[in-house]
């Protein structure tokens, strides 16, 4: 990303999310040695300073010049809710005026953050709250990365795991998401292990193929939710565009090229996809693959579905007990603050009606290709 020539009259731009390469261009324009770029990059992404004056290995003049042209905080914290289990949900306002959400999930051995990649979502999965917003906007690389920095600053806890499972479809914002993941995993950036950064996709087949061909070091999760094409189509409109067969083919290709395990997510919806026959179909579908299955108990979003009863969940799990892959049943976190999977639905006013956007509103609209 090129940094345009700067004049003192311009509005300050966010510094978070700028790569070393773009900072090098800026430093050269400012007549500074190239190594200053790495120093600035590290202060922002690694040390995560909140004030330019803390960048102590830079000259006073350079610090002042940076402060004149850039800002360190681009997201405005709107609300923060803390659950009885320690989960925290943050609502941020981005410069366009829209709100996005991030969820902090502390556990004994790891600390996970669930972040957003878009404002709203275009995919329309019938059980997901974010789908009700429609697609509004892609987030920038900086807006994606800053969610982690700000939560880390707020909690004082080092984030060990990132999941792109908040609002939006990461693979419909591919280049920015990948750039953001690179900064997250860069030892001079946020220094989070690349394999602990998981991108969850609804199943945008061409982007799964691209992700494999590029041999990206990040982990991949696919929202499967149904063992057959017909059922998948009935709950996930994306299946009209990319069939289950194509999806499984791209998943196989991913495991072949990268030699990595893929995670399939399967939200349990009572009376829809939770019977024994479907468990067996799922077993058959996934057995040939190097994968892991993560069953997600449905979080009620008032969209007409129910969470299967405990025994039914147990029976489904039991039917998969001899699977050649690992099966986990996700524990719900932060339910008292509606921070669980699929519950992220940012609205600025409580009385605001959900927005349905049939056509993406502008040129930044994602294309399902």
Q: Minimum CB separation from ligand SAH for residue 201, in Å?
A: 5
On the CB side of 82, how many CA atoms lie within 13 Å of its CA?
5
User: Which residue has the CB atom at the shortest distance from ligand SAH?
Assistant: 342
* Site residues (CB under 6 A) for ligand SAH, limited to 218-257: 223
Rounded alpha-carbon distances, angstroms, from residue 149 to 45, 113, 157: 7, 11, 10
**Active-site residue (options: 101, 143, 146, 265):** 101
Instruction: Using the rule CB under 6 A, give the single segment among 35-43, 95-103, 135-143, 296-304 that binds ligand SAH.
Output: 296-304
128 near ligand SAH, rule: CB under 6 A: yes
Q: Count residues contacting ligand SAH (CB under 6 A)?
A: 17
Interatomic CA distance for residues 160 and 106, integer angstroms: 10
Residue 274 contacts ligand SAH per CB under 6 A = no
> Which one of residues 39, 147, 299, 313 is an interface residue with ligand SAH (CB under 6 A)?
299
Nearby residues of 289 by Cβ (< 8 Å), 6 or more positions away? 248, 251, 252, 255, 262, 325
| Radius of gyration for the chain, computed over Cα atoms and rounded to the nearest angstrom | 21
Tokens of 28: 């050269």
Q: Measured at the alpha carbon of residue 80, what is the angle toward residues 79 and 84, in degrees to the nearest 5?
A: 145
Closest separation between CB of residue 102 and ligand SAH, Å?
13
- Look at residues 202, 165, 142 and name the one whose alpha carbon lies nearest to residue 14: 142
161 sits near ligand SAH (criterion: CB under 6 A) = no
Q: Which stretch binds ligand SAH (CB under 6 A): 43-51, 80-88, 152-160, 198-206?
A: 198-206
Active site residue 341: yes
Looking at the Cβ atoms of 186 and 265, the one nearer to ligand SAH is 265
- Closest to ligand SAH by CB, 254 vs 298, is 298
Judged by CB, which is closer to ligand SAH: 58, or 267?
Answer: 267
- Cβ neighbours, 10 Å, residue 121: 25
Catalytic choice (213, 341, 350, 352): 341
8: its two tokens: 């003192």
The rounded distance, in Å, linking the Cα atoms of 157 and 135 is 32
> Rule CB under 6 A: is residue 147 a binding residue for ligand SAH?
no
- Looking only at residues 168 through 187 of this chain, which bind ligand SAH when binding is defined by CB under 6 A? 169
Is residue 342 at the binding interface for ligand SAH, with CB under 6 A as the rule? yes
Does residue number 122 form part of the binding site for ligand SAH (CB under 6 A)? Answer: no
Q: Which of 52, 298, 316, 325 binds ligand SAH (CB under 6 A)?
A: 298
Only segment of 63-71, 97-105, 125-133, 256-264 that touches ligand SAH (CB under 6 A):
125-133
Residues 6+ apart with CB under 8 A from 9: none
Report CA-CA distances (Å) from 164 to 30, 112, 263, 277. Answer: 36, 11, 13, 31
- Alpha carbons 90 and 339: distance in angstroms, whole number: 9
The set of catalytic residues is 101, 341
Residue numbers of the site for ligand SAH (CB under 6 A)? Answer: 125, 127-128, 165, 169, 200-202, 223, 265, 267, 296, 298-299, 301, 341-342
């Amino acid at each position: 990303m090129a940094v345009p020539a700067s004049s003192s009259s311009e509005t300050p731009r966010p510094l978070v999310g700028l790569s070393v390469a773009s900072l090098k261009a800026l430093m050269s324009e400012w007549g500074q040695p190239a190594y200053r770029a790495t120093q600035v990059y590290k202060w922002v992404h690694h040390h995560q300073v909140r004030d330019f004056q803390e960048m102590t290995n830079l000259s006073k003049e350079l610090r002042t010049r940076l402060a004149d042209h850039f800002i360190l905080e681009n997201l405005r914290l709107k609300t923060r809710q803390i659950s009885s289990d320690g989960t925290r949900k943050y609502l941020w306002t981005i410069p366009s005026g829209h709100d996005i959400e991030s969820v902090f999930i502390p556990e004994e051995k790891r600390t996970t953050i669930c972040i957003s990649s878009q404002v709203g979502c275009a995919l329309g999965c019938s059980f997901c709250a974010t789908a009700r917003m429609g697609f509004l906007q892609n987030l920038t690389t900086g807006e994606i990365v800053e969610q982690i920095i700000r939560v880390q600053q707020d909690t004082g806890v080092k984030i060990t795991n990132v999941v792109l499972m908040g609002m939006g479809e990461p693979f419909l914002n591919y280049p920015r998401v990948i750039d953001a993941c690179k900064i997250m995993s860069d030892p001079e950036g946020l220094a989070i292990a690349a394999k602990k950064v998981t991108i969850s996709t609804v199943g945008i087949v061409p982007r799964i193929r691209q992700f494999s061909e590029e041999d990206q070091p990040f982990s991949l999760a696919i929202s499967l939710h149904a063992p057959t094409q017909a059922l998948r189509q009935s709950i996930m409109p994306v299946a009209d565009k990319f069939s289950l067969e194509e999806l499984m083919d791209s998943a196989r290709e991913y495991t072949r090229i990268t030699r990595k395990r893929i995670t399939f997510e399967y939200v349990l919806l009572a009376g829809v996809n939770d019977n024994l026959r479907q468990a067996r179909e799922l077993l058959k579908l996934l057995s040939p693959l190097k994968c892991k299955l993560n069953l997600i108990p449905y979080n009620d979003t008032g969209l007409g579905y129910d969470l299967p009863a405990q025994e039914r969940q147990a029976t489904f799990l039991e039917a998969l007990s001899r699977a050649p892959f690992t099966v986990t049943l996700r524990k719900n976190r932060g339910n008292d603050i509606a921070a669980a999977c699929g519950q992220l639905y940012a609205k600025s006013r409580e009385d605001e009606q959900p927005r349905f956007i049939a056509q993406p509103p502008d040129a930044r609209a994602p294309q399902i290709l």
